[in-house]
């Protein structure tokens, strides 16, 4: 009969200090990505490793909203609307 020994997890390639640095980089700039974090911290790891460390820390990526700029007409209309209610508080 073959017995299976307890499987050992693969050793971590990043240290705790590096894990904290990865998570801090996202807290400082939530719109950054895994590639730029890896380059900024000069880590010799795959970007998937960086993403995994972020997930372990409960952090998610953020995508900045892409909005159209207001035209001159829209700006004037919004300003006129806001001025109607300035004194009505």
pTM for the model stands at: 0.63
CB of 52 within 8 A of CB of 22?
A: no
Question: What SS3 class is residue 77?
Answer: helix
Gap between the Cα atoms of 13 and 18, Å rounded: 10
Which CATH number fits the domain that encloses residue 44? 1.10.10
Number of domains in the chain: 1
Q: Is residue 80 part of a domain?
A: no
The first and second tokens of residue 2, run together, are 């073959």
Residue 69 sits at φ, ψ, to 5 deg, of: -70, 145
* Residue with the two structure tokens 């998570």: 23
pLDDT in 10s for each residue of the chain, 89 residues? 666 677 888 899 999 999 999 999 999 988 889 999 999 999 999 999 999 999 999 987 777 778 788 899 999 999 999 999 887 65
Q: Is residue 29 part of a domain?
A: yes
């Amino acid at each position: 009969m073959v017995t299976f020994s307890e499987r050992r997890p693969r050793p971590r390639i990043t240290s705790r200090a590096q894990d904290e640095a990865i998570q801090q980089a996202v807290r400082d700039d939530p719109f950054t990505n895994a590639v730029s974090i890896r380059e900024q911290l000069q880590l010799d790891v795959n970007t998937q490793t960086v993403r995994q460390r972020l997930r372990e820390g409960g952090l998610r990526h953020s995508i900045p909203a892409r909005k159209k700029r207001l035209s001159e007409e829209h700006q004037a209309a919004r300003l006129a609307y806001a001025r109607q209610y300035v004194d009505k508080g």
